[in-house]
């Protein structure tokens, strides 16, 4: 990044840190949603953006993280700070199992994506029948008004806001460290040209498996947050295909494979949705499906005009990153 880019990033961080002090409850709740999508988009980006593995079933890891941590809390009284570890481990176990199936048996490209959808769908239908977790009727975390217990992630919206903000910052930092590591270079090589990567010594299987492991673990953490923020889990929602797509849209709009892209994308899409709701309600034209229609049109416009994402374009225009040829 250029000096200008770093200053802007620091400013944005500062703004987000003080936003709840100036904004009302509504602003905080919208920003929490934005940051959640930024976080999960960042996690998904590790697989698709860094390693070229298109997962279309990322709700699987969100859901596993959510259900595992919620079950531990409700049934055994284990708080989320401890529960997030098994939540991540379960997601990693399932993720690497899918990865193992895919990479050992040569399930590539689109077919790998289908595999990820299939597992998410199996989870959606399967969790409907696990009565221990509420089945299709939903699984609920106990809610007590006015309780402030950060150790169990129980408290005001403000608590959740700062937790998700910390997660976004953490995921961004981790992604940056990974991308500049030996592993990160190998991921990018595998994404670009697997055959050539293998010829320069990259173990394709290991590189892809680590990408799946990191991505699923991070995503599961997003699931833990979701469980304790919303306090209710329905397989139909948590594991839905639509949700999987919602997760990947910010990264696509912002710029796949970039560090800032998923965050910027979330800051474009969620407010866009909110603004559409507001405008349609105010204008009295709120027909069913109209919001989705406008939302879809806006998406098409962005993707058609900025196919590589908004961030790479913005960064070039505002000189936020070094351009090729400007030296390292």
Partner 1 sequence: MTALLTVSGLSKRFRGLKAVSNVSFEVPEGRILALIGPNGAGKTTTFNLIAGVFPPDEGTVTLKGVRLTGLKPNRVCAAGIGRTFQIVKPFGELTVEENVVVGALARERSVAVARSQARAVLERLELLDQAARPARSLTLPDRKRLEVARALATRPTLLLLDEVLAGLRPTEVDRMVEVLRELNRREGMTILMIEHVMRAVMALSDQVVVLDHGEKIAEGTPAEVVADPRVVESYLGAEEG
Catalog residues that contact partner 1 under the rule CB under 8 A.
Answer: 180-182, 185-186, 188-189, 192-193, 195-204, 257, 324-328
Gap between the Cα atoms of 298 and 18, Å rounded: 30
Q: Smallest gap, in angstroms, from Cβ of residue 317 to partner 1? A: 18
Judged by CB, which is closer to partner 1: 202, or 264?
202
Gap between the Cα atoms of 30 and 37, Å rounded: 11
Gap between the Cα atoms of 41 and 50, Å rounded: 12
Judged by CB, which is closer to partner 1: 210, or 216?
210
For residue 256, what are the contacts with CB-CB under 8 A and spacing of at least 6?
45, 48, 49, 309
Q: Smallest gap, in angstroms, from Cβ of residue 48 to partner 1? A: 14
Q: Smallest gap, in angstroms, from Cβ of residue 200 to partner 1? A: 5
Question: Strand locations in 143-242, DSSP E?
Answer: 232-233
Judged by CB, which is closer to partner 1: 24, or 195?
195
Judged by CB, which is closer to partner 1: 94, or 188?
188
Q: Smallest gap, in angstroms, from Cβ of residue 92 to partner 1? A: 24
Q: Smallest gap, in angstroms, from Cβ of residue 192 to partner 1? A: 4
Judged by CB, which is closer to partner 1: 192, or 286?
192
Number of continuous H segments (helices) and E segments (strands) in the chain: 15, 2
Q: Phi-psi category of 44—alpha, beta or left, where left has phi over 0 and alpha has psi -120 to 50?
A: alpha
Gap between the Cα atoms of 64 and 61, Å rounded: 5
For residue 97, what are the contacts with CB-CB under 8 A and spacing of at least 6?
none
Judged by CB, which is closer to partner 1: 120, or 207?
207
Token output for 65: 């993280």
């Amino acid at each position: 990044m250029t000096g200008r880019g770093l200053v802007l990033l620091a400013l944005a961080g500062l703004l987000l840190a003080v936003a709840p002090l100036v904004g009302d409850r509504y602003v905080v709740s919208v920003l929490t949603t934005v940051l959640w999508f930024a976080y999960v988009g960042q996690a998904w980006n590790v697989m698709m953006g860094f390693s070229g593995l298109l997962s279309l079933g990322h709700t699987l890891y969100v859901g596993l993280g959510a259900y595992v941590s919620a079950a531990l809390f409700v049934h055994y009284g284990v708080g989320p700070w401890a529960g997030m570890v098994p939540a991540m481990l379960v997601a990693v176990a399932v993720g690497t199992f899918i990865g193992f199936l895919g990479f050992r048996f040569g399930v590539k490209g689109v077919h790998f994506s289908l595999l990820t959808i299939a597992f998410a769908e199996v989870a959606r239908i399967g969790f409907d029948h696990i009565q221990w977790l509420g089945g299709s009727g939903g699984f609920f975390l106990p809610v007590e008004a006015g309780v402030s217990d950060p150790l169990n992630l129980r408290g005001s919206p403000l608590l959740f806001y700062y937790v998700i903000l910390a997660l976004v910052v953490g995921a961004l930092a981790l992604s940056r460290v990974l991308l500049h590591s030996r592993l990160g270079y190998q991921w990018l090589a595998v994404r670009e040209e697997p055959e050539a990567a293998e010829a320069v010594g990259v173990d394709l299987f290991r590189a892809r498996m680590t990408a799946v492991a990191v991505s699923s673990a991070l995503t599961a953490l997003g699931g833990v947050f979701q469980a304790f923020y919303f306090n209710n889990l329905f397989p139909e929602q948590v594991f839905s295909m639509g949700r999987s797509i919602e997760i990947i849209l910010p990264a696509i709009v912002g710029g796949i494979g970039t560090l800032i892209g998923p965050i910027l994308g979330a800051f474009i899409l969620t407010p866009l949705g909110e603004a559409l709701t507001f405008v349609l309600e105010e204008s009295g034209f709120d027909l069913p499906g109209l919001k989705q229609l406008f939302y879809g049109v806006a998406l098409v416009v962005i993707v058609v005009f900025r196919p590589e994402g908004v961030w790479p374009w913005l960064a070039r225009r505002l000189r936020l990153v070094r351009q090729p040829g400007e030296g390292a």
